[in-house]
Structure 1
Amino acid sequence: MFLPGIRRRSVLAGLTAAAALPAPSRARAQGKTIVSHGIAIHGEPGYPPDAKHLDYANPDALKGGSIRLAAGGTFDSLNPFILQGTAARGVAGIYEPLLETVYDEVSTEYGQLVETIETPPDRAWVIFTLRANARWHDGKPVTSDDVVFSFNILKEKGQPLYAVYWHDVVAAEALDQRRVKFSFRGGDNHELPVIIGQLTVLPKHWWASRAFDQASLEIPLGSGPYRVESLEAGRFIVMRRVEDYWGKDLWLSRGRYNFDTIRYDYYRDEQVAFEAFKAGDVDYREEFTSRLWATSYDFPAVKSGAVQKVELKHESTLPMQGIGFNLRRAMFTDRRFREAFVHLVDFEWFNKALSWNLFTRIDSYFFNSELAAKGLPSKDELALLEPLRSQLPPELFTKEFKLPVTDGSGNNREGMRRAIALLKEVGWEVRSGKMTNVKNGQQLSFELLLGAPRLERFALPFKEWCGRVGIDVRLRTVDPVQYQKRMDEFDYDATIVIFSQSLSPGNEQREYWGSAAAKTKGSQNLIGIADPAIDKLIEAVIAAPDRPSLVTRSRALDRALLWNYFIVPQYYSTTFWIAYWNKFGRPEKTAKYQPRGIETWWLDPEKEKTLGQTPPERKT
């Protein structure tokens, strides 16, 4: 159910997928329909209608102060919904979705702009009734016409992923000023009401005189807890809390959105951003580089306690991250060719020598969850896979998928032998130290495109491993704007890809791996997978009627993706690494699927005073 950019707003940190707590039903039946305050893909919502606040938020959190964050690259637009331009960080926080996702339940949402959710037992449609007091920042009410407008404009002029994600939503109809109905294709997709609940609602009256599909720095109108206060393109953007925000007393809001201002300063260089954090110009930092986490957080402020260094365990799925091949390039279409590169990777050496053994190898597209394929296919999985046997890798049925393991010495002879043998099967052999095409005599060479210098940490060893068998990998690192443009155009041989998953996968799988998305520029099918068997497995996942069948079908899809070797898997940490200047309060309880949750933090005046970090307001 999770698709980045659609799922929800967050003015602070990127939030991962949510996940499920069984609970007694608190919905009420009206005839043949069910009316509720919340909805889950499978099961019932865990919070009651009279909930006071989220369990992982402190309703007594102080309001006020500011937090300064770092952003990478640049921005030239305040429209995060289109391909054109690069949107500023945090700007989506001025808007609200129909339903709000929570982070201590599996794929469960509650009414944000919406007061009630009405569905029939087969979920062939959903009716949302908007809250009577929901208001835009100009004081006008949020109406069902705004909802219908938002759905239509995003499908027609938004990023291509919207049309794919909402493929099975066939109609949006305003029944009256506050009630809107969405009708769905078929009757076997339980997640559709949840998916459409993620719809970001835009003000129809504001956009009526503006071109939606053009990048602009005009400050847009929203309804959310923050508005854009000031900005300078490519340098900074400041969000200010809306004092008279219509939803400030909602149970979902209590203890959240506590900072008066949130400022993002842009840094084109990651090392400069780190130095800004050390100097106190940035308040909070999430670290992604093991070398820095292991060796660079020893500056005086850490030793004195002025900067807190925290490792947060979590139970969320982790992204599949690795080197993805562009199957639109002919050389990458053979599975054996792609598998060869998996054998060249010496992860054990890399983790020991360059990463302080802080990482775990990713071996699933649903890593760190019950959805990951383990062992051989189960009986229920085989019922799905057997009809597709002729279209799937034969090893899928007879072997457990396991990535090669080396002795960590740095001398991966067995991996190189296996890679050379696989490449020979598809027409390549080593001649004079170069991996050569036996038909045309050309050396095997391709470009590995990177969007950030920190990615070179793995890319450089990868280039060396390939070079040992005569493969020329050309590394090219470009700025984020150029990188995104090339991604949207599918203009690359190979790149490092990241695919985030939720604990309830569904429609977004079409966008990641579906044949239709492979042909749509700007889609998330970066690899270019167009495989009928995988398409069928995707549809099986989407149509899962309950949690056990979803787990079974996700594992079957996982096997098909793994055994096709579309990606050379990298690594991930099952712990979030964060550091922050010690002037904040945090809730005692964190969300188990998203423990970072700094939208629930607040400025603690006593800590700030002790810290001695009370600089004057920075000019904006």
Structure 2
Amino acid sequence: MANNGLRGLLMALLVATIGPVTVAAAAEHALTLHGSPKYGPDFEHLDYVNPDAPKGGTLKLANVSAATFDSLHPFILRGTAAEGIGLVYDTLTEGTLDEPFTEYGLIARAIEVAPDNSHVRFYLREAARFHDGEPVTADDVAWTFRRLRDEGHPQYRAYYRDVERVEVEGPRQVVFHFATRDNAELPLILGQLPVLPAHYWEGRDFAATTLEPPLGSGPYRVVEVEQGRRVVYERVEDYWAADLPIKRGRHNVDRISYDYYRDGTVALQALKAGEYHLRQENVARNWATAYDTPAVEAGDLRLAEIPHDRPAGMQGFFFNTRREIFSDPKVREALSYAFDFEWTNENLFYGAYRRTRSYFENSELAATGLPSEAELAVLEPWRDQLPARVFNEAYQPPSTAETSRRANLRRALALLNEAGWQVESGQLVHSQSGRPMRFEILLVSPSFERVVLPFKRNLERLGAAVSVRTVDPTQYQNRMESFDFDMTVHVAPQSLSPGNEQRDFWSCEAASVEGSRNVAGVCDPVVEALVEAVIDAPDRQALIHRVRALDRVLQFGFYAIPNWYIDRFRVAYWDRFGRPAENPPYGLALDTWWVDADKARRIDNR
């Protein structure tokens, strides 16, 4: 299931029966792909909230990147949407952060999945309202689905590919019919649908970017916009879902603002000056050295490391395999020996990170060690199409922990020689075509140059001619969407239950669709077959085995040179908040925090 920037985790129900049946489906308060929901139909609130949390106050946050925003329309390819815009919209169902794969009714009061998984029916709550007071209807749901599929971001077409049609059965009853009965994830795919108001969009161009505050039904509305600089959200006082069990104790702050900073150093100083309230620290050097201040010593500015079990996905130097120079996996493997993670971690990151080795890192889905019997059974039909090492080796990215950088570079040259590359006059050239190995590493953040430049020097020791180019966010986005790059730093995120979104990451179709998340250009019939096997997994254990099998094939495809990850949130925040005693395992539940009026007054008057 995708880690959608708009709304958290996406979940649903699996009814594991096959073939036509006549038994009527039962409507449920919650849907889970595998197992049973943690919370029963009479639950009062989530375990990780304070149901009596006070409302009020302000939370000032920062977007720290070279990218700014030019749109309040997050559902299309064009433009860059403002941070936090997902707060404006509600979905049919909503997930939790203490279960791997469960959804509870939000706009939908009940969900009914056909016993043969041929359709899913949503019964909408009569109380559901858009911010203008108009009811949320089945027509709005159907309109949203069609508009996202036909005119929205390209990822929606892949996501909804197995949905045959949507049918409105009444003002508050809508059913989605499926083209296949094998895709158990489809009910939750539809459950995560953000419902847009059809009446608002009448006469408006859905394909155009806009800075007009949108109409939604969520807990917040946009109240202030300074393009590229600042966006402010205000809590909807009469929010229709405020007292639902899935929402109780959440969305406690009256106003949330995001200020945009292009420079990380400036943003850090702004936090210390109290210009905003909370920062997730993603720079290891800052965490180690930049918070030695009187405010921290006094306990006014607090530093917290909050462990989590959220999958890390794959961050790495991604190859664009559409480029001929990177079409050979042996070349890609060879170049991976030029990245010295151990040196980078020790000298640049203060030893803060772990090496990523899986596309599903920090989860039970990651392939480790040799394949199990169950994984081998999944892989066996493609034995003749896969490298033997997929079956008899455990993937491990090159390391200098037990060998030298020089030895790794020698291994890289040996692989390059096998792939037809030779060093002539200090330069790598292809023995048949005579073309030199020349490529560009594309970056959007200047701060990443300190990581890439040592990697570049090692590549040049092999004889490759490598340039590093940092471009502005608009140019970067345009180049990434059109796949106009050789190599780049990229993150392929994952959730606890991968499914339909894997098509957008790894399919041949996605490789040719501009704006898809198949950055590497993966186009392999075995990968495609394994993606479909993941989507069709009949139970949790089968899903784990199939995902691990997919992981092994991706690992030995060498589509990326793995970087690093961390299994905790590093949070610096001014001591003006209250928060529940326990954080859930699968996310930083910032929407469960609240402003403590006494603490905030003390901090403001210090």
TM-score (norm 2): 0.96
Match of 1:70 among 48, 54, 62: 62
> In the TM superposition, what is the alpha-carbon distance from 1:442 to its structure 2 partner?
4.2
- Which residue is 1:277 aligned to? 271
Q: Which amino acid aligns with 1:86?
A: T
Change (3 A) 1:390 1:408: closer
**Given the superposition, is the C-alpha separation of residues 176 and 336 from structure 1 closer, same or farther in structure 2, using an over 3 Å criterion?**
same
1:133-173 CA-to-partner distances (Å, cap 9, x unmatched) read 10011111000000000000001111000000111111111
Q: Give the aligned residue type for 1:234.
A: G
Show the counterpart of 1:555. 548
Work out which of the residue numbers 40, 48, 53 in structure 2 matches 1:56. Answer: 48
Note if 1:492 corresponds to 2:485. Answer: yes
Q: Which of 159, 170, 173 lines up with 2:167 in the alignment?
A: 173
Q: 1:344 aligns with which of 338, 341, 346?
A: 338
Cα shift readout 1:67-126 (whole Å, capped 9, x = no counterpart): 111113211111001111111111221111100011101111000101000112232211
Return closer, same or farther for 1:613/1:528 CA change in 2, 3 Å cut-off: farther
Instruction: Report if the CA contact (8 A) 2:480-2:515 is conserved.
Output: yes
Q: Which runs of 5+ in 2 are unaligned?
A: 13-21
- Conserved 8 A contact 2:10-2:103: no
Cα pair 1:57 1:256 within 8 Å, conserved: yes
In 1, the alpha carbon distance for the partners of 2:362 and 2:85 equals 31
Tell me whether 338-347 or 523-532 shows the greater mean CA deviation: 338-347
Instruction: Give the one of 566, 577, 601 matched to 1:584.
Output: 577
> Paired residue for 2:594?
602
Does residue 44 of the first structure (1) align with residue 36 of the second (2)?
yes
Separation in structure 1 between the aligned mates of residue 54 and residue 310 of structure 2, nearest angstrom: 29
Q: Distance in 2 between matches of 1:384 and 1:227?
A: 48
Answer whether contact 2:138 2:171 (CA < 8 A) is retained.
yes
Residues 384-427 of structure 1 show CA distances to partners (whole Å, capped at 9, x for unaligned) of: 21211122122111211122221489x50111001011111122
Which among 537, 558, 565 is matched to residue 572 of structure 1?
565
**Match 2:149 to one of 140, 155, 161:** 155
Q: In 1, are the aligned partners of 2:222 and 2:233 still within 8 Å (CA)?
A: yes
Bigger mean CA deviation after superposition, 562-571 or 435-444: 435-444
- The alpha-carbon distance between structure 1 residues 613 and 323, as it changes in their structure 2 partners (threshold 3 A), is farther
Residues 79-228 of structure 1: matches in 2 within 5 Å?
Answer: 79-228=73-222
The AA in structure 1 aligned to 2:192 is Q
Q: Deviations over 1:226-262 (max 9, x none)?
A: 0000111111111000101111111111111111111
What's the CA shift string for 1:268-307, capped at 9, x where partnerless? 2222211211111111101111111111111222122111
Q: Which amino acid aligns with 2:53?
A: A
Match of 1:468 among 433, 455, 461: 461
In structure 1, C-alpha distance between the alignment counterparts of 2:461 and 2:273, rounded to whole Å = 42
1:132-531 pair list within 5 angstroms: 132-407=126-401, 412-531=405-524
Q: Higher mean Cα deviation, 298-307 or 492-501?
A: 298-307
RMSD of aligned alpha carbons: 1.8
Larger mean CA deviation between 178-187 and 475-484 belongs to 475-484
Matched to 1:42, the amino acid is H
Rounded to whole Å, the distance in 2 between the matches of 1:191 and 1:132 is 27
Q: TM-score, normalised by structure 1?
A: 0.94
Give the residue type in structure 2 aligned to 1:430. V
Partner of 2:16: none
Partner residue, 2:17 = none
Distance 2:573 2:286 in 1: 15
Number of residues of Structure 1 aligned to a counterpart in Structure 2: 597
Q: Distance in 2 between matches of 1:520 and 1:18?
A: 23
Separation in structure 2 between the aligned mates of residue 578 and residue 334 of structure 1, nearest angstrom: 42
Return the offset for 1:613. 4.8
Return closer, same or farther for 1:455/1:319 CA change in 2, 3 Å cut-off. farther
Q: Give per-residue Cα distances to partners, 1:339-390, cap 9 Å, x unaligned.
A: 0121122111111122111110011111111111122222222222121112
TM-fit CA distance, 1:19? 9.0
- Aligned residues of 1:237 and 1:264 also touching (Cα < 8 A): yes
What's the secondary structure of 1:324's corresponding residue? strand
Secondary structure of the 1:34 match is coil
2:96 partner letter: V
- How many angstroms apart in 1 are the aligned matches of 2:605 and 2:535? 51
**Secondary structure in structure 2 of the residue aligned to 1:559:** helix
Q: For residue 74 of structure 1, what is the amino acid of its counterpart?
A: T
Q: Using the aligned pairs only, state the percent identity.
A: 49
Q: How far did 1:611 drift? A: 1.9
Distance 1:144 1:343, change over 3 A: same
| Distance in structure 2 (CA, Å) of the matches to 1:551 and 1:80 | 32
- Matches of 1:85 and 1:330 in 2, distance apart? 30
Query: Retained in 2: the 8 A contact 1:19–1:105?
Result: no
What's the secondary structure of 1:142's corresponding residue? coil
